[in-house]
Amino acid sequence: MESLVMRGRVWIYGDNLDSERMAPTHIFAHGPVEDKDLAKSAWIGIDPGFPAKVCQGDIIVAGANCGYGSSRGGYHVRALKAAGVGAIVAESLSPLFLRSCINDGLPAWSCKGITEAVDEGDEIELDLESGSVFNITRGNSIKAALLSKTNLAILIAGGLIPYVKQRIKEERQRSGEGSARGLEQA
């Protein structure tokens, strides 16, 4: 992730969005799936036309209880990222879904009142550090729940695995080892 500020076009969806419908399990039930194939499955259980209409950086705005269900190894989050989704902002997020998003480097957070503050097709600007959501189309703003410093650091690194690799490298450099032995294989 290059910046803590992002812009994108809004797609609005309702409450109780089950993670199983975000990327149906039959897509990846038989083993690993390439991102290009995952992209074709993004959100199809919720909006069958979504993969064809989403553009790079678009932002999903959802109601309450977004992402409840299982994590399925984060395939649903990988599918959304592969399709070009830049972030998810919801009235409330399932804790497991939020963790999956952060771990896979997809910005996601809760923002009470977001579904009233935007219309589908609006362009919004998200500032992950301040929690500000600015509706460029309407000219109004709303505050979201702040992400923890650790979650921000994980997002900046591009996800949990890159974050851990970065931390190991930094710790080795601090401790005098100076090299990141074994990280090439990690």
Assigned domain for 170 exists: no
Assigned domain for 168 exists: no
Assigned domain for 162 exists: no
> Over 70: is that where the pLDDT of 182 sits?
no
> pLDDT, tens digit, for every residue of 125-169?
999 999 999 999 999 999 999 999 999 999 999 999 999 999 999
Phi, psi dihedrals of residue 121, rounded to the nearest 5° = 95, -15
Number of domains in the chain: 1
Q: Which residues span the domain enclosing 62?
A: 5-147
Assigned domain for 181 exists: no
> pLDDT, tens digit, for every residue of 38-76?
899 899 999 999 999 999 999 999 999 999 987 666 788
Using CA atoms, how far residue 43 sits from 99, 100, 152, 178, 182, in Å, is 18, 16, 25, 44, 37
CATH number of the domain where residue 81 is located = 3.20.19.10
Q: Sorting pLDDT into bands at 50, 70 and 90, what band is 34?
A: confident
Q: How far apart are the C-alpha atoms of 85 and 107, rounded to whole Å?
A: 10
